Amino acid sequence: NQTEQIKKLWLPALEKKYFDVTQKFLNVKLDKTDVFSTYFTYMHLCSYSEKGKYFFISVWTSPIYQINIITHELLHLLFIRYYKKHCLRKGLAKNQFENLKEAMTFIINEDIYKGIVLANDIGYPQHRKFRQLLHKEWVKDNNFKRLLDYGINYSKSHFSQ
């Protein structure tokens, strides 16, 4: 049963480690009310709902890759929760924020997520360069605030409103 396999892999060790690492990366204290539901889908593309606080993982992928999907989609939801308003106040249009949010998943491939994520997070082709640039900024000093400012400025200058 896929549900049981995912629970065995994710709960409790990976889940705790993931939230500890993500909290450090995002430079926030996660709110205990940040509870998200996960659903299986027969689609290959896995979407999420910001308002509904849920996301999908595909039944067609292996449990190891499903863990990657969980980390990726949760990162989107947490980034939205803690930084969407900030980014919009800094002048990002919705489309620019969406591109920043997608590119920020580069972090899943960094050392801080080793032992949680077992396969590379590739992202979308249109964000490849942006993800590489964010990586270069991140490894300078692992400073999220500076990384976010860089990402906001890049999004403003490289993506249409």
Q: What is the pLDDT of residues 91-133, one digit of tens each?
A: 999 999 999 999 999 999 999 999 999 889 999 999 999 999 9
**pLDDT number for residue 114:** 93
Rounded to two decimals, the pTM is 0.93
Of 23-27, 29-33, 48-52, 87-91, the range with the lowest mean pLDDT is: 29-33
In this predicted structure, what is the pLDDT of residue 11?
A: 87
Residue 125 CA from chain centroid, whole number:
16
| pLDDT beyond 90 at 154 | yes
N- to C-terminal Cα separation, the chain: 44
φ, ψ dihedrals at 98, nearest 5°: -60, -40
Out of 26-35, 47-56, 67-76, 134-143, least confident range: 26-35
Q: Which single residue is written with the structure tokens 């995912």?
A: 6
The answer to whether the beta carbons of residues 99 and 160 sit under 8 Å apart is: no
**Residue 21 neighbours by CB distance under 10 Å:** 20
Length in residues, the chain: 161
* Sign of the CA dihedral with 142 first, then 124, 56, and 161 last: positive
For residue 44, the SS3 value is coil
